[in-house]
Structure 1
Amino acid sequence: MLAKMKASAEQDLEKKTPDLIKPVLITERKPSAYDKKEKDNVSISDKPRNSVSVPAKKPPPKGPQQRGSLTGMLATKKFFKRLSKKQRAASTVSVPAKQYEPTYRMEPKEHYNEKKVYEVVKELIDEKLTGMIYSKKYSGNLTKIISNQVKEKVKALHYDRYRIICNVMLGENRGATVLATSRCAWDPKTDDFTSYSFQSKHLFCNVSVFAVYKE
């Protein structure tokens, strides 16, 4: 009985297997509107990325490279400049001053000529101040310039062993009276002075030159 049932089952299986083995034709399905939306909503991470070419690193240039900020370079430069000054000061050899024997000459070879100096001072002051208008802002510097130029002119006369002192007074001319006096302790045989006064519509100037002989 069991053998008959087994044989009938095998026959039924043989009948069904050819249907299972038959090839199945697969047709391509057309994409629907839902599939298109899903394709458009693909995340950025899923999209393919464009490849970026990275340039190769250049080899470092040969030779010393400057490093550090501009302030550091300036500080280093100042430091070495100070150091070089100290080294120069330490390396300099002090030369003793020349010592001359006393000449025992109590009087100058050429005496101070007051008239000659007066002409020199007058020519310089007239040239500088003629047509000039008084300015409170520049009067201080102008007196210094005049004083230095007068001393240079007098020294050019070559009065040996004379110390030249120049005093300049400059002011605005408003019709007021001005008195200028001076006192000096000197030797009248060798020492002397020169005084010149200039006056214009806008200003006045008084120049006094003192020559003191150094024994």
Structure 2
Amino acid sequence: MLLMDLSLLLSLQPAAAQTSRGAPNVKAATSEGSAKPADTKKPAQSISLSGLLAAQRMTLRLKNQAALRRKARARTPNRKPITIINEQVPAGSANPAQRFPYSTAKKLIQEFLTAKLRNVTYDPSTSADLTKNLCEDIKKIVRRVTPPRYKLICNTAIGSKNQEDVLVTSQCLWDSYSDNVTSCSFQNPTMFCVVTVYAVYFE
């Protein structure tokens, strides 16, 4: 048993280490009277400890890479995307052939406010009449791009531009499949103006 452990230990160490330590070579036993030449087997190749450690590190790295690939495939299932062909409109909702172009209306209102109020100075005594005139003019401009059977409601707020902040909000109940709204604002050194236009479909 001791001889087997010693031979195993010597096979794991490099050849240079074996010669430096002076370990005896084990030869096959021959009979005294035989004239056969000695058994010339090639010595077993030595395995270095650093090589074993490098092989273990490489195996562990490959296992980790394979595990990461499996996790990535599990996160992204191979499902086909869902496409909605036609929007389902409720039975009680209106379904106009042409919807209100709110982005085009917003662009027209913004250009009109810039041209109309660029050089206007805020005056509390004339702001009421200015608000009414702006509403009528804006409705005429937006009516050019509004599809048939739409009613327009214009709400305009004008105020003095001082250090305080102003928040303008609105709320209404309507049919989201046919009705729409657009809003824009303008300000100059002395005043601000907020315009909201509602487009309500009438059957």
**TM-score band (shorter)?**
0.5 to 0.7
Query: Aligned to 1:157, what secondary structure does the other structure show?
Result: coil
Q: Check whether the contact 1:108–1:160 (CA below 8 A) recurs between aligned residues.
A: no
Greater C-alpha radius of gyration: 1
Shift of 1:158: 3.8
Q: RMSD in angstroms over aligned alpha carbons?
A: 1.3
2:166 corresponds to which of 178, 201, 213? 178
Query: TM-score if structure 2 supplies the norm length?
Result: 0.53
1:118 corresponds to which of 106, 110, 113? 106
Q: Check whether the contact 2:100–2:147 (CA below 8 A) recurs between aligned residues.
A: yes
Query: Aligned to 2:199, what secondary structure does the other structure show?
Result: strand
State the partner residue of 2:137: 149
Deviations 1:16-41 (A, max 9, x none): xxxxxxxxxxxxxxxxxxxxxxxxxx
Unaligned runs of 5+ in 1: 1-104
Q: Check whether the contact 2:94–2:177 (CA below 8 A) recurs between aligned residues.
A: no
Query: Aligned to 1:151, what secondary structure does the other structure show?
Result: helix
Query: TM-score if structure 1 supplies the norm length?
Result: 0.50
Deviations 1:85-132 (A, max 9, x none): xxxxxxxxxxxxxxxxxxxx9322210111100011001111110021
Provide the C-alpha distance between the structure 1 equivalents of 2:101 and 2:177, rounded to a whole number of angstroms.
Answer: 12
Q: Check whether the contact 2:94–2:175 (CA below 8 A) recurs between aligned residues.
A: no
Query: Aligned to 2:129, what secondary structure does the other structure show?
Result: helix
Q: Check whether the contact 2:152–2:199 (CA below 8 A) recurs between aligned residues.
A: yes
Shift of 1:176: 1.1
State the partner residue of 2:117: 129
2:156 corresponds to which of 139, 146, 168? 168
Q: Check whether the contact 2:109–2:184 (CA below 8 A) recurs between aligned residues.
A: yes
Aligned residues: percent identity? 34
Query: Aligned to 2:136, what secondary structure does the other structure show?
Result: helix
